[in-house]
Amino acid sequence: MAELKGQQCPICHEKTLTLREEEIDVPHFGKVFIFSMTCDECNYRKSDLEPAEEGEPAKLTLDVDSDKDMSIKIVKAGDATVKIPYIITIEPGPAGEGYITNVEGLLNKVKAVIESAGEAEEEKADKKKARKLVKKINNIILGREKTKIIIEDPSGHSAIISKKVKKSKL
C-alpha cells in the first residue's frame, strides 16, 4: 500500500490529508486499485476504485428476493449508474465514487439518503413518501419484499458477484 501524508485538504485546507493507493484481488472479479483520501482535521473522506483490467460496457441485473441475498457482493465503479426501480436512481457525477459493498450495505446507503432527503422536505406528503420508501427498504432487507438492483456501467468495471446476476450489453 502506498501512502502519502501531510497533503492539503480540499475542504479545510490544512495539511492533514492522507492519500492512499492499494491493490487488492477481489474474488470472482480480479485486481482493483483502491484510492482514498482522509483528513485527520475535518474528517473529510473520499474513495474510488478502478479495476486493473479493461472491461466492456455492461448492464447487471440482480433479483433480490430473500434476506439471504443481503450478503451478495457488489463492486461499483465510479462512473456506473445504480437503479433500484420504484425507489431510487443514483447517477454518476463529478463526485461519483466507486466502492465495494454488499446488497445490504447498498440498501442501507440508499435508506440514509432517503431519510436525509425526507427530513429536509417541508411538505407533509413528501415526508410521508420518504417514510414509505424507508419502510419498503427495511422490508427488502428483512426478505419480506422483492426488488431489483440494476447497475449500468459504461466502463464495464462493476460487478455483482452472484450466480443470480444477469449480465447484458449496455
pLDDT (tens digit per residue) in 67-76: 999 999 999 9
Q: Report if pTM > 0.85.
A: no
What lies within 8 Å, CB to CB, of 133 at 6+ separation is: 87, 88, 114, 118
pLDDT in tens, 115-144: 998 888 888 888 999 999 999 999 999 999
Where exactly does CATH 2.60.120.1040 map onto the chain? 55-170
Return the CATH number of 55-170, one of 2.60.120.1040, 2.40.420.20, 3.40.50.300, 3.20.20.10.
Answer: 2.60.120.1040
Where exactly does CATH 2.20.25 map onto the chain? 1-53
- Rounded Cα distance between 130 and 102, Å, is 23
Look-up: residue for cell 428476493?
A: 65
pLDDT above 80 for 30: no
Domain covering 1-53 assigned CATH 2.60.40 in the classification: no
Q: What was the pLDDT predicted at 170?
A: 85
Q: Which three cell numbers stand for residue 156?
A: 464495464
Other Cβ atoms closer than 10 A to 114: 20
